[in-house]
Amino acid sequence: MKYTLFIISLLWIPHLGVAQDIDAAIRFTEKQATLQLEETRRLQAGGKVSPRTLDAKGQLVLVAPGDWTSGFFPGVLWQLYHFTKDVKWMEAAREATEKLEKEQYNGRTHDMGFKMYCSYGKGYEYTGDTAYRNVIIRSAQTLITRFNPVVGCIRSWDHNRDKWEFPVIIDNMLNLELLFAATRLTGDSTFYRIAVTHANTTLKNHFRPDGSTYHVVDYDPETGAVKHRHTHQGYSHESTWARGQAWALYGYTMAYRETGNPDYLQKALDVAEWLHQRLPADGVPYWDFDAPDIPDAPRDASAAAVMASALYELDAYAPQKSKLRERADHILKSLLTAYTAPAGTHAGFTLLHSTGHKPVESEVDVPLIYADYYLLEALDRKKEKGK
């Protein structure tokens, strides 16, 4: 599948080594987000509250609070407030965040971290609002109801029970950040212990000998034995789905930050090296590293944004003279020069050319809200490094 990469608004960024270049990227994202906020407010109806992507006609698609992506738009708004200190972004972020409040009690999903920590977590980080703190704790309490101590993991999906009995997906590593936060906020180590147990079980069972990841590991809930290993959103069960590998990089970097466990650091470094050996020249992966139609396969800018954000953090923990920061810079520069929307278009999304679920031809070569979220996070982490 061939498509055009837009080389547009951000080409006037000469390089990514100075703060004003990051500020220019933020100004562009602000303009896009202003359009997206207006469009979101115009379309909100029937319980749909957060933008996710565009449909085949180029119209903005909104999702209900229960959708796994619902927290990313509030997170984008909170990050814009963090960057600009403009009260308009804080007010918009509060409005978008509070639409998710009931989700703190939704025990039917493992995606509490994506939904509640990317929204309420960012809000608490930037405002210290105690009401947000309480929602974070309640969300974590809800999430751990899905933990099975025999398996040693938090259950991911409840659907497709004819296919999996106790599925755990690599994405679930990111939801552990909510649990680590809950222990910090309460002093209750229960959340921490569950997060660590889940990370250890995933470390043991989700990786192939070459360092690549399976998307889904299915367990017997009575014995904890592995029943199946699948790559549900990838090309085949033995292929490497790009965003899954990005989740692994991000998840174990975050887990090392929260625990200091050297095994987690080593896994994150190993995944980073695996990616370095296999990424295309511009650093933005094809949707699956084993897609048969490379180089004409769709890219996944969302996976690249996750990777860049994780690499900036991992660089702080890596041995001296690592090349992780330079690799993150390379990915970020590619995203900002060849994967951004023309200004004022695409309902205010910043990044184009992401892939959601290629095997069922869902959200292929489209903007996705989580790509924009992790792009902003990558920019923030780069700015913190001061280079």
Report the pLDDT value the prediction gives residue 160, as an integer from 0 to 100. 82
Does 171 qualify as catalytic in the annotation? yes
Q: What's the rounded Cα separation, in Å, for the pair 111 and 180?
A: 15
Give DSSP secondary structure letters for 193-207: HHHHHHHHHHHHHSB
pLDDT of residue 4: 40
Is 111 noted as a catalytic residue in this protein?
Answer: yes
Tell me the per-residue pLDDT of 18-57, one tens digit each, with 9 for 90 and over.
Answer: 356 899 999 999 999 999 999 999 999 899 999 999 999 9
Q: Which of 21, 55, 67, 111 is catalytic?
A: 111
Q: Which amino acid is at 162?
A: D
Tell me: the pLDDT tens digits for 263-305? 999 999 999 999 999 999 999 999 999 999 999 999 999 999 9
| pLDDT at residue 14 tops 80 | no
CA–CA separation, 374 and 385 (whole Å): 17
Q: Is the pLDDT of residue 193 over 50?
A: yes
How many Å apart are CA 59 and CA 53, to the nearest integer? 8
Mean of the pLDDT values across residues 58-65?
98
Tell me the pLDDT band of 162, cut-offs 50, 70 and 90. confident
Amino acid at 276: H
Q: Provide the whole-model pTM.
A: 0.95
In eight-state DSSP terms, residue 340 is B
* Separation CA 167–CA 79 (nearest Å): 32
Q: Over range 191-202, report the average pLDDT.
A: 98
What's the average model confidence in pLDDT over 143-150? Answer: 98
Per-residue pLDDT for 365 more than 90? yes
pLDDT at residue 13 greater than cutoff 70: no
Average pLDDT of the chain to the nearest whole number: 94
DSSP H helical ranges for the chain: 19-43, 72-84, 87-98, 112, 122-127, 130-143, 176-186, 189-205, 242-259, 262-278, 301-317, 324-338, 369-385
Tell me: the pLDDT tens digits for 86-144? 999 999 999 999 999 999 999 999 999 999 999 999 999 999 999 999 999 999 999 99
pLDDT of residue 187: 98
* Burial (Cβ within 10 Å: 0-12, 13-18, ≥19) of residue 21: buried
State the average pLDDT over residues 153-177: 95
Q: Compute CA distances 5 → 27, 33, 326, whole Å.
A: 21, 21, 23
Q: Is 7's pLDDT higher than 80?
A: no
Q: What's the pLDDT score for residue 1?
A: 39
Per-residue b/e over 90-117, b at no fewer than 16 CB within 10 Å? bebbbebbbbbeebbebeebbbbbbbbb
- Residue of 21, 67, 171, 218 with catalytic role: 171
Query: Which two tokens mark 334?
Result: 């590619």
Structure tokens that stand for 220 in this block: 């017997």
So what's the pLDDT on residue 321?
78
Distances (CA, A) of 327 to 59, 301, 362: 34, 15, 30
Per 3-state DSSP, the chain is made up of helix, strand and coil in percentages (nearest 5) of 55, 10, 35
Contacts of 382 by beta carbon, 8 Å cutoff, 6+ apart: 16, 22, 312, 328, 329, 332
Q: What is the pLDDT of residue 320?
A: 81
Q: What is the pLDDT of residue 8?
A: 37
Can you say whether the dihedral through the CA atoms of 173, 174, 179, 181 is positive or negative? Answer: positive
pLDDT of 12 strictly over 60: no
217-265 residue pLDDT tens: 999 999 999 999 999 999 999 999 999 999 999 999 999 999 999 999 9
Give the pLDDT of residue 387.
53
